[in-house]
Structure 1
């Protein structure tokens, strides 16, 4: 390298150092902002999941209380509903069909 080229390169390099420093700070701020936004979104989703899980746990507790505390017999209740439906339906003929006379 000759002296003229070196004389031009030194000021260019000297001016590039602050530009690179400014660009690096800017990139760091952008990364921090993205990290903050991601952390906020994650916290919101965690709160939603916690709320959903809490509702599910409450429902399970209610079901457990129904089944255990009151001594319900689920099979008996289902059969009672089936029996009630049979009585309410009448003779068991589908709607719109006439019963044939037996000979």
Structure 2
């Protein structure tokens, strides 16, 4: 009887130690989310690049307005 109790306690302990995913399965959902995050990072890098150019270049206000509108359209 004591052996069964020890095995039962060990099994319950190992089940409680497992990470819970709250119904979320590994694989596709994470891949979709990662792709969305990569796309967002890419867009943010493009915007930063444009802003750096705007700050460092001395161009006319027409060019500046056009680039700002292009960023807003994305």
Scaled to the shorter chain, the TM-score interval is: 0.3 to 0.5
TM-score, scaled relative to structure 1: 0.33
Q: Which has the higher contact order (CA 8 A, sep 6+)?
A: 2
Find the structure with the greater CA-based Rg: 1
